[in-house]
Amino acid sequence: MDEMLATSEGLKEALSLSESIISDIELSARSLSNVALKASRLARLIGHFDHQKIFLYEVSGYPTTPNGVDSETWALAKTAGRINIHKDDEGVRETASLESLEQLHFDLQAAKDSLVVAKDADVSLTSANPSQYVLAPAGNKIERNELRRSISNKSKFIAKRRAFIYEYVSSVHYEIKYSSISDDIFSRIRSKVDEKVGYLIPDSVQKFSAVYENLRSENTEDWSNAVHSCRRILQDAANVLYPARESKTIEVNGKKKEIKLGADNYINRLMAYVEENVTSKRFEEIVGSHMKYLGERLDSIFQAAQKGSHDVISTQDEADRYVIYTYLVIGDILQLNAEVEQREAK
């Protein structure tokens, strides 16, 4: 499936339209040609321009030239499952079925009507000569068999057309629905973080704005800059909640371990803040593991950038993940800070 290219409003319309198309197909509420036109609109809304053309061609028929079918149309017909493979003594060859949906339905109905007409008339044969053997006329059996074969083939092909449209629309429908759920979840988290981060870490407000701008870019260096901003946001949080200080020693499994809490050890400082203020061991374990993973990855990206590798983030999806992780961690820290302030206020 191609990547969706649509605004949030476009996706909402596409979700509603996909539900309507699925209902039309399942309930046979519209002709297949009308369904294909709606599917073409759906494809246009989400930026699937190849499928938009395919569904238009399903309605109008696939175009040909005096020299046959051009390469672009052939590729679209192949995507639509309209290429037939034949094997004979001369080898393997491919042909394309280019008829419109209306033409397919017309040909199917014409074949059904012809089958009715091709019925043999009732004939009664007698002979005055008891020794004569009277043969019945040959009738239209061969024609009827050909018509039945044609009806079967056309019915199967139309069913494949219906299934092709249904599978595409269903896939788009669930993809949009899943992305909408994900967006809603992240929007709730983002709203809570944005509401509180300005109060606790005012310097990070501008950094979050820079993150959004960089994520909209198509430049890999901007994506890397978005991730570097995430690192600085976590540093800001550590500086406010748990400023740099002397290392501390803890005991783990009977052995002493030094925890560095200097200026560069921002993840250690955030984890120390959580450990010293949390009341739930499970919360400490989950948040701590998230912070440790995120901090190590952000530091490795930062170190690579320091060595001259500015485009160390290769995909926008990768940058998106680090931003989401940062929001989750900051959200957990802000929640813990609010609980600490409530306890202190009592």
Half-sphere exposure of 176 (CA within 13 A, CB side): 27
Query: Can you read off the two tokens belonging to residue 258?
Result: 């030094």
Q: What percent of the chain has pLDDT over 70?
A: 82
Q: Mean of the pLDDT values across residues 235-247? A: 89
Where is pLDDT greater, at 312 or 18?
Answer: 18
> For residue 138, how many other CB atoms are within 10 A of its CB?
8
Q: How far apart are CA 297 and CA 277, in angstroms?
A: 25
Amino acid in the structure at residue 100? S
Q: Under a CB-based contact definition with an 8 Å cutoff, are residues 8 and 14 in contact?
A: no
Q: How far apart are CA 64 and CA 28, in angstroms?
A: 31
Q: Which of 100-114, 190-204, 269-283, 324-338 is predicted most confidently?
A: 100-114
Q: Mean of the pLDDT values across residues 304-310? A: 55
Q: Mean of the pLDDT values across residues 162-184? A: 85
Confidence of residue 122 (pLDDT cuts 50, 70, 90): low
The DSSP call for residue 257 is E
Tell whether the torsion through CA atoms of 95, 98, 103 and 108 is positive or negative: positive
From 41-45, 250-254, 311-315, the region with the lowest mean pLDDT: 250-254
- Enumerate residues 6+ apart whose C-beta is below 8 A from 57: 63, 73, 76, 77, 80
* pLDDT for residue 3 is more than 60: no
Q: Which helix (H) or strand (E) holds 211?
A: helix 203-216
C-alpha triplet 201, 326, 2: angle, nearest 5°: 135
C-alpha triplet 218, 220, 226: angle, nearest 5°: 95
Which residue in 337, 343, 342 sits closest to 197, CA to CA?
Answer: 337
- Is 86 in a helix, a strand, or coil? strand
Distances (CA, A) of 57 to 53, 74, 217: 6, 12, 35
Q: Under a CB-based contact definition with an 8 Å cutoff, are residues 284 and 275 in contact?
A: yes
Q: Under a CB-based contact definition with an 8 Å cutoff, are residues 309 and 302 in contact?
A: no
- Enumerate residues 6+ apart whose C-beta is below 8 A from 128: none
* pLDDT for residue 312 is more than 70: no
* pLDDT for residue 6 is more than 60: no
Q: Which helix (H) or strand (E) holds 250?
A: strand 248-252
